[in-house]
Amino acid sequence: MLSRIAESLFWIGRYVERADGTARILDVHLERLNHLPPEEQRSVARELLAVMGARPQSEEFGLPELLHALAYDKSNASSIAGSLGAARENARRARETVSSSLWECLNTTYYGLNQHRKDVVGTYRFCNWVLERTAMVRGLADTTVSHDESWLFLVLGRSLERADMTARMLSTRDVLSAGMSWVNMLRCAGAYESFLRTRRAAFGDQHAAEFLLLDRLFPRSIVYALRDADECLAKLDPSAQRVGFINDARRIVGQARTFLEFHRTDDLMAELPEHMDRVQKAVTQASDAISRKYFNQADELAWVGEVS
Amino acid sequence: MSELFQDYSEAVARSGAYDEMFAPGLIARKSYGQVEDALRELSLADVSARAESMARTFLDRGVTFDYAGEERPFPLDIVPRVIPADEWETLERGVAQRVRALEAFLDDVYGRMSVVSDGVIPRQLVTTSAHFHRAVHGFEPAGGVRVHVSGIDVVRDAAGTFRVLEDNVRVPSGVSYVLENRRAMAKGLPEAFGQQHIRPVEEYPRRLLSALRKTAPSGVDDPTVVVLTPGVFNSAYFEHTLLAGLMGVELVEGRDLICRGNRVYMRTTAGEQRVDVIYKRIDDDFLDPLQFRSDSMLGCPGLVNAARAGGVTIANAVGNGVADDKLVYSYVPDLIRYYLHEEPVIANVDTFRLEEKEAREHVLDRLDELVVKPVDGSGGKGLVIGPAASKDELDALRRRILTDPRGWIAQPVLQLSTVPTLSGDKFGPRHVDLRPFAVNDGDDVWVLPGGLTRVALKEGSLIVNSSQGGGSKDTWVLSDSPQLPGPDLPRQSISVREQVSVWPVESNWRDRQSEQEQQ
C-alpha cells in the first residue's frame, strides 16, 4: 500500500486514541480540580498540563485555560478538539482506503466539536460525548475495514498511543496526591470495576499501578498495549529472521514490554516515574522508527542539488 | 436567584417547619453560603437544563428503583442538604451509640434475656414480635456481630432538634443513592464544591467489605464474601449490583448457593467454592425454607444451620427484625441506659404504646391529630396521618387498633424540616428526613459522613418514601479542617523518587543507525 496512506491510518489510530485518553483524564480530574481552592487549583492545573506534555502559554493559567488547552484548542494536536480535527484530516487524505462509515463518523465528530458549552458543566458533557464518538470510531474500524495491512497500521497507532496515554494516567498520581489517587487512576482507564474484581480486598496505589502497568488481560494496561503493537509490527514485517531484528520499532517496543513484564521489584511506586518516562520515550522512538521505515518515502526521494 | 426563590419565605412560614437552608427572613445559614452563591449565578433555564441532564444520567446508568414492575429513575434534586460539622458530630455519636445499644440488645434477647429479667422491657414485647425468630436463639453468630449495616432514620422537628424516627437493622437500603448522588452532583453543581471541605462518601464499599471480612468465621485466612440478592425483580436490585461491583465480590442468588456439612458453597465454573460471609439482602422470611417460609425459592436450605454451626457469617444476622419493631423502638432510650450506662445522644419521637390501656384511650380520642404506624411496617406502608385522613379511614383504623393493639404505635405529627427543592419553575420548601448509614465491624462503628436525604416532592407532604413519590438529595457533611494527604503520600518526595533508576541504559539506536547509513 501507499506509504502516504499507511501514515494517515497510523495517525488516525494515534489521534483518536489520544482524544479518548485525554477526555478520560480530563473528565476524572476535573471533578477533583473543582473541589480545590483557587490557589491550589492553578498550580494543579499547571501540573496536569505538564503531565499531558504541554507548557502553559501565559502566566495566568487557571481552570478555563486548562479546559481550552486540553479540550477545545483546535490549533494544538494535543487537545481533544485538535486531535479529532487531525484524525479527520488524515481520514480525508485516505478517504478511498478507509470505509465510508469510518470516514463519516470522523467527519460528523469533527463538526460536532463546536456544539458544546465551554464551561465546567459543558466540559463534562463534552468528555462524555468524545468517549462515545471515539468508541464508535474504534468499533467501525474493527468491523468495517478489512483486517489487512491498512488496518494493522491503524491498530499499531492506536496501541502505541494507548500505552502512552495509560502512562500519563499513571503519572497523574503525582498531580493530585491528596485523597484517593489510585481510584482516580483506575477510573481514568475505565478499569475500576475490573480491578476490584481481580484484587478482592487488596486495594492501594501499589496494586492499582501494577494493574495498569503490568496486567496481561486488561486491554488498557501498558503491557497489553505494547504487546498489541508488537504483534502488529510482526504481522507487518513477516520476514522471518533467524537472529535479531532489522526493524528498530520492533526492538524498541519489544524491549520495553519485556523489561516491564519480566521486571521484578519490591518498590514499584518508587520506580513508577522512571517506568512512565521510559514508556513514553519508547513510544516516541518507536513512532519515529516506524515513520522512517514505512512512511519515509518523501525523505529518500528528496532531490539533492548536485554541484557538478 | 430572586426569581427562583420567589415566594419561598411565605411558603416556609406557611408550613411552620424548620428550614435547613434559610433562617427566618430568607437569610442563608452559614453552612449553605456557598450553595446559595452557586445558585444565585444560575438562571431558571440553567437549573432546569442541569436537573434534566442529571435525571438522564441516572436513567442511563440504571440508577432506578422498581415501582409497580416498572424501572424508574430515583429523582435527585439539585439543591444539596448540607450538615455543618458540629451538628454532624452529634449525629455521628448518636447513631453509633444507638447501633451499639441495639447490638447489645439483640445479643441479649437471643441469649440470656437479662433485659427482661431485669425488668427493662416486658417479655411479651419480645416474644410477640413478628420478627423474633426462635430458630436463631441461643448461639453467637460467627464473627460476633449482628448489626453489620444499619440505617437509623433521623428527622428534625420544628424547633430544629434531631430526633430518631426509626431504626433499620434488617436490610437497610439506599446507600447506593448516596454514592450515585455525589457523582451526579459533582457534575451537576460543580460551583458549590470549591471552597468548602465536603467529606467524601466513596470509601463506603471498602469499609463495608473490610467489616464483612473481619467478621468472617474464625480460622479463614482469606474470606470469600458474597452479596445475596433476591434477583433482578427486587426493587433494590440496582443497589445490590452496585455494592457487589464496588466491593469486587460475587452477586449471588439463592440458587447459586448450596449448603453441605454446615458449610456454604457457590457453584462456579471451577467447581464449588466455599463462601465465608454472606451479605444478605433478602428478608429473613425467605432466607431458608427449612426454617422459615417453606415455599421460598429465593433462599438456600440450610443457611441458618450453617450459621448456627459457625460455618458462615450472615450479615446482617437473622432475627434482627425484633430490634426494628416500632414498639421496641419506644424502649430504645431505656436500652441505651441499660446496656451502655449512657444518656441517649439523640432523642426519640414521643410515642404512644397502644397496648397500654390509658395511652390507647387517649390516642383513640384524638386519632385525627396523630400519625399511626404499624409496628413492623417499612416504606411508609400502612401508615395513617390523622390530619390528612378521611373519617372513614379513621374509623377503619380505629377498628384495626382495637383488634390488634400490639400491632400499632401512634406519634404526634412532626413538621419535618424543609430544604429548597426545584418544583416547576421555582424552588419550594419540601420536607426531608435523613438516613445515616453505619457499618459495624465488631470493634468500631463507622458512620458514613452523609447519608440518604429523602425528600417529599409534593408540597406539604410528609411521606418521603420513594415508593410514594419521594425523591432524594445529596447530603454534604462539611468538615472544619481540610483533609490532609495520607502520611504515605508526601508530595515532596517526587524529586527523590526520580533518582531511582532500574532500566538499562538507553541504547542509542539513533546514533548507531546513522553510523550504519554512513558506512
> What pLDDT is attached to residue A307?
55
Our CA-based measurement puts residue B21 at a distance from the nearest CA of chain A, in whole angstroms, of 21
Would you give the DSSP letter of residue B350? P
Determine how β-strand B225-228 pairs with β-strand B277-280: parallel
List the 24-53 stretch of A: residues with Cβ below 8 A of B.
30-31, 34-38
Mean pLDDT of B403-410: 88
Task: Give just the sign of the alpha carbon dihedral B244, B247, B248, B254.
Answer: negative
The per-residue pLDDT for range A39-93, each reduced to its tens digit, is: 788 888 888 888 888 888 777 888 888 999 999 999 988 899 999 999 999 999 8
Whether ipTM > 0.85 holds is no
Our CA-based measurement puts residue A279 at a distance from the nearest CA of chain B, in whole angstroms, of 11
Our CA-based measurement puts residue B55 at a distance from the nearest CA of chain A, in whole angstroms, of 14
Q: Which of B301, B260, B304 is nearest to B138 (CA)?
A: B304
User: A264 and chain B: CB distance < 8 Å anywhere?
Assistant: no
Q: Taking 70 as the threshold, does the pLDDT of residue A10 lie above it?
A: yes
Q: Which among B202, B248, B502 has the least Cβ separation from residue A183?
A: B202
Q: Which of B220, B503, B506, B515 to mutate to test the interface with A (most CBs of A within 10 A)?
A: B503
Q: Which among A37, A174, A270 has the least Cβ separation from residue B500?
A: A270
Q: Which of B507, B431, B413 is nearest to B18 (CA)?
A: B431
Q: Are B66 and B55 in contact (CB under 8 A)?
A: no
Contact A270 B222 (CB under 8 A): no
Contact B186 A31 (CB under 8 A): yes
List the 195-254 stretch of B: residues with Cβ below 8 A of A.
195, 198, 200, 202-203, 206, 209-210, 213, 222, 245-249
Q: Taking 80 as the threshold, does the pLDDT of residue B515 lie above it?
A: no
Contact A121 B195 (CB under 8 A): no
| CA separation for the pair B507, B436 (Å, rounded) | 59
> Of A14-18, A179-183, B234-238, B403-407, where does mean pLDDT reach its minimum?
A179-183
Q: Which of A66, A120, A124, A132 to mutate to test the interface with B (most CBs of B within 10 A)?
A: A124
> What pLDDT is attached to residue A273?
86
Our CA-based measurement puts residue A248 at a distance from the nearest CA of chain B, in whole angstroms, of 8
Contact A251 B213 (CB under 8 A): no
Q: Which of A13, A56, A9, A293 is nearest to A165 (CA)?
A: A13
Name the more confident of B339 and A206: B339
The per-residue pLDDT for range B287-336, each reduced to its tens digit, is: 999 889 888 888 899 999 999 999 999 999 999 999 988 899 999 999 99
* Three-point CA angle B225, B229, B232, nearest 5°: 140
E strand or H helix that includes residue A281: helix A268-294
Q: Taking 90 as the threshold, does the pLDDT of residue B115 lie above it?
A: yes
| CA separation for the pair B372, B397 (Å, rounded) | 9
3-class secondary structure, B474: strand
| CA separation for the pair A305, B447 (Å, rounded) | 79
The per-residue pLDDT for range B52-88, each reduced to its tens digit, is: 888 888 888 888 776 766 777 788 999 999 999 999 9
Q: Which of A120, A274, A280, A287 to mutate to test the interface with B (most CBs of B within 10 A)?
A: A274
**Burial class of residue B392 (count of CB atoms within 10 Å of its CB; 0-12, 13-18, 19+):** exposed
Q: Which of A145, A17, A148, A136 is nearest to A86 (CA)?
A: A17
CB atoms within 10 A of CB B433: 24
Highest mean pLDDT of the ranges A144-148, A203-207, B39-43: A144-148
At residue B23, what are phi and psi to the nearest 5 degrees? -75, 160
**pTM higher than the cut 0.90:** no
Work out the percent of chain A whose per-residue pLDDT is above 90: 46
- Tell me what the pLDDT averaged over chain B comes to: 86
E strand or H helix that includes residue B114: helix B114-117
Question: Which residues in A156-175 are b (16+ Cβ under 10 Å) and which e?
Answer: bbbbbbbbbbbbbbbbbbbb
Task: Give just the sign of the alpha carbon dihedral B258, B261, B264, B270.
Answer: negative
Instruction: Give the confidence band of B500 by pLDDT, cuts at 50, 70, 90.
Output: low
User: B504 and chain A: CB distance < 8 Å anywhere?
Assistant: yes
Please enumerate in sequence order all residues whose Cβ is within 8 A of that of A119, keeping only pairs 6 or more positions apart, or say none.
none
| CA separation for the pair B463, B388 (Å, rounded) | 12
| CA separation for the pair B235, B68 (Å, rounded) | 9
Work out the percent of chain A whose per-residue pLDDT is above 70: 92
3-class secondary structure, A250: helix
Q: Read off the amino acid at residue B134.
A: R
> What pLDDT is attached to residue B192?
85
Instruction: Give the confidence band of B514 by pLDDT, cuts at 50, 70, 90.
Output: very low
Our CA-based measurement puts residue B249 at a distance from the nearest CA of chain A, in whole angstroms, of 6
From chain A, pick out residues whose CB is under 8 angstroms from the CB of B50: 121
Helical segments of A94-221, H only: 100-112, 120-144, 149-175, 181-188, 192-199, 205-214
Q: Taking 80 as the threshold, does the pLDDT of residue B486 lie above it?
A: no
Long-range contacts made by residues A93-97, C-beta under 8 angstroms, separation at least 24? A93/A4, A93/A5, A93/A8, A94/A4, A94/A5, A94/A8, A94/A9, A94/A12, A97/A1, A97/A5, A97/A8, A97/A9, A97/A150
Name the more confident of B405 and A132: A132
Q: Which among A125, A193, A201 has the least Cβ separation from residue B245?
A: A193
Q: For B200, name the nearest residue in chain A, comparing CA atoms only.
A: A179
Q: Which among B203, B222, B491 has the least Cβ separation from residue A177?
A: B491
For chain B, how far is it from start to end, CA to CA, in angstroms? 77
> What pLDDT is attached to residue B497?
45
> Of A224-238, A288-302, B107-121, B491-505, where does mean pLDDT reach its minimum?
B491-505
| CA separation for the pair B336, B100 (Å, rounded) | 8
From chain B, pick out residues whose CB is under 8 angstroms from the CB of A180: 200, 202-203
User: A177 and chain B: CB distance < 8 Å anywhere?
Assistant: yes
Q: Are B289 and B298 in contact (CB under 8 A)?
A: no
> What pLDDT is attached to residue B484?
45
The per-residue pLDDT for range B487-498, each reduced to its tens digit, is: 344 444 444 444
| CA separation for the pair A89, B272 (Å, rounded) | 55
Contact B503 A259 (CB under 8 A): yes
3-class secondary structure, A68: helix
Contact B194 A35 (CB under 8 A): yes
Q: Are A260 and A297 in contact (CB under 8 A)?
A: no
Q: Which of A46, A192, A91, A304 is nearest to B206 (CA)?
A: A192
> What pLDDT is attached to residue B507?
58
> What pLDDT is attached to residue A178?
52
Q: Are A70 and A49 in contact (CB under 8 A)?
A: yes
User: A269 and chain B: CB distance < 8 Å anywhere?
Assistant: yes
